[in-house]
Structure 1
């Protein structure tokens, strides 16, 4: 089962980027992910399996419409 990751989430990866940053923002999800280093703004494309394997923790998550509480009046 794939991890629940959304555009806008920030994740921490196992290895640091050459600039020294560990945190990456997810810009695109699907079979391939586009992620951006939050330190130097560099963007890279990686397969979903590679990103999921490298994640150590989810730093922050964006709420999706399905996560928001329903306002039934």
Structure 2
């Protein structure tokens, strides 16, 4: 699957793990920049969308689209 489609609240895997050792991130904000939160230590990082799509490896869990 070469299509890297992602949505709000998806859990994604990045190419490099966070310094805490965790490699699972939750998308908590989307726009020109994307804010992701480490599921290991809770640290959040905001990175440009273009950089995020380059550094993202794959979507691990899709969000429930029933959430409002």
TM-score (norm 2): 0.84
Relative contact order: is structure 1 or structure 2 higher (C-alpha 8 Å, sep ≥ 6)? 2
CA contact (8 A) 1:5 1:29 kept: no
Equivalent pairs, count: 64
1:8-48 C-alpha deviation (Å, 9 max, x unpaired): 10000000110001110000011100100000000010000
Q: Which residue of 1 aligns with 2:63?
A: 62
Is 1:52 the counterpart of 2:53? The answer is yes
Unaligned runs of 5+ in 1: 66-73
Structure 2 unpaired stretches of 5+: none
- Please tell me whether Structure 1 or Structure 2 has the larger radius of gyration of its CA atoms: 1
**Aligned residue in 2 for 1:21:** 22
Task: Provide the alpha-carbon RMSD of the alignment.
Answer: 1.7
Deviation at 1:4, TM superposition (A): 3.0
